[in-house]
Structure 1
Amino acid sequence: MRAGLDWPGLMRAGMQGLRLRPEEFWRLTPAELALMLGDPGAVKPMGRSRLEALIAAWPDGRKEDGDGGR
């Protein structure tokens, strides 16, 4: 059995979280509302701590003369 949309939750997110007026909320398609709310399953941008961990794991080597910067 397929579950329906959580309309009370979506209305709270749209009208309280996004500060949409009811008429603005009801004019949106579910896809537009999802885009405005953001995709919780999307990959998050890399934060500073993750960048520093990658730098520590994969440090740049010393540039050798004549290597063209590679």
Structure 2
Amino acid sequence: MQYEWILDVLTDLKAFAKGNGLSALAEQLDDASLVAAAEIAQVAGNMAGGVALDANKAGRRYCGASASDNA
């Protein structure tokens, strides 16, 4: 999917924030990942004729990363 890269970037930023003691930023990036996943699912659904992705699954995929994943 053409927008999935933004979720990867947000996951990397969150891992960096957690690994460097920036807990408030990490929480905000969690929220941003959920918003991004929901909007991407909506856009993808519109492009696919109404067959939207499951934003909850996408959010869990990208919000579940630990600080050690990318730090």
Greater CA radius of gyration, 1 or 2?
A: 1
Normalised by the length of structure 1, the TM-score is 0.25
Judging by fraction of residues, say which structure has more helix: 2
Q: Which has the higher contact order (CA 8 A, sep 6+)?
A: 2
With structure 2 as the length reference, what TM-score do the two structures score? 0.25
